Amino acid sequence: MRRLLVAALAAALTACASISDKSQPLPVQADAMQFSGKLSVKVTGSDQGGSGSFDLQGTPRAGLLELSTPLGQLIARTRWDGESVLMQTPKEQRRYPDLDTLTQDLLGEAIPVAALFDWLRGRPWPDAPSQTLEGETKGFKQLGWTVDLSGFAEKSLIVARRSEPNEVVLRARLESPVAGQ
């Protein structure tokens, strides 16, 4: 993500390229969700990761994710359906077989985007086992991640951590109400 943020910032400053705003609408889905806010991903021991704004809509089966710099410049648009994932940046387009492969390529670590749709709603993903956190911390463990929801009710903040094989910390703060609940 850091590579994308740096590349996008350079593109914004030089005004050399932009991502086309001509995107096809998503198919109507009864279970579609929409989220927007700030997102940061940090991979310990790596120069990969970064932070910025995000807009996520659709479902794990078909959706759209747009990432922007902290200054608001669109740096990547990713669309997916049941067959493939297409990511556009100001300089290139890439196809991936799935979202996990995309995040693995960009960050060096796979982020469970399918589960993220539910995590951003403050709940475990129903397609995988989960375990409620014990003690005072609100949240759960799922897919090797610890999802801390302590700041969810007051700040719309989730913090997801995975420590193996490398430590990855994903923070998402929602700025708009959750749609599609």
Domains and CATH numbers, the chain: 2-18+33-174 (2.50.20.10)
d(CA 57, CA 73): 19
Whole-number average pLDDT of the chain: 83
User: What tens digit of pLDDT does each residue of 147-176 get?
Assistant: 999 999 999 999 999 998 889 999 999 995
- Residue whose tokens read 């960009």: 106
User: What tens digit of pLDDT does each residue of 29-86 get?
Assistant: 667 889 999 999 998 877 777 888 999 999 999 999 999 988 889 989 999 998 899 9
pTM of the model: 0.79
Compare 10 and 151 and report the one with higher pLDDT: 151
Amino acid present at 12: A
Cβ neighbours, 10 Å, residue 24: 7
DSSP assignment of 74-87? EEEEEEE-SS-EEE
- According to the model, what pLDDT value does residue 21 have? 53
SS3 135: coil
